[in-house]
Amino acid sequence: MLGKKMIRVFLLIIAGLLIVYSYGYYKKHTTVSLLNEKIKMGKYRDALASVQKLQESPINRVVSKLEKEDPVIAYNKGVVYALMENKKKASAEFRKAMETNDPLLKAPAIYNTANLIATDMDFSTAAMQYTEVLKIDPNDFQAKKKLRTDENRRTAV
């Protein structure tokens, strides 16, 4: 009898944790969707505030104890910082996002880092980054185009 009660309590705890985790995932998904809309409308400060609010939410803090910073949040913060022309913070956030194993997130994070590097006229380092993107996604048209452009700039200098 005691064993059945313990199992029920354990299952209730697991169910509660799954609900909290699912709510956090839902909240992140809706915030990222709204974030994209705010970026399209040019509301960069509002977008940054939304990401920071999500990052500081109690559920995200609990989840972050279990795993390191969410690379999706880091990537989106990087995008907002890049649009606000804060290269240093954007680069730091993209580097956090690059630590993911998800190629769908890693390639754009590397690509955006390369773009930031290219704006500082360091075309050889940017070219190496674009090459990394092409290793992940050989069909990335934008990375191929940027790589060719940077190679032309390096040969012109």
Would you say residue 2 lies in a domain? no
Q: What is the mean pLDDT of residues 85-113?
A: 90
Does residue 122 sit in the same domain as residue 78? no
Q: What is the average pLDDT score of the chain?
A: 81
Q: What is the mean pLDDT of residues 120-127?
A: 84
Number of domains observed in the structure of the chain = 2
11 vs 62: CA distance, rounded Å: 20
Global confidence as pTM: 0.70
Collect all residues with Cβ–Cβ distance below 8 Å to 36 and sequence separation of at least 6: none
Residue with tokens 């690059």: 98
Domain boundary residue among 57, 86, 115? 86
Range of the domain at 73: 14-86
Would you say residue 93 lies in a domain? no
Would you say residue 94 lies in a domain? no
Domain boundary residue among 86, 114, 137? 86
Would you say residue 20 lies in a domain? yes
Would you say residue 7 lies in a domain? no
Most confident of 49-53, 104-108, 148-152: 104-108
Does residue 29 sit in the same domain as residue 82? yes
Does residue 76 sit in the same domain as residue 116? no
Would you say residue 154 lies in a domain? yes
Would you say residue 19 lies in a domain? yes
Q: What is the mean pLDDT of residues 36-41?
A: 76
Which DSSP helix (H) or strand (E) runs through 142?
helix 141-156
Residue 83 vs residues 29, 90, 131: alpha-carbon distances, Å: 21, 9, 24
**How high is the pLDDT of residue 68?**
67
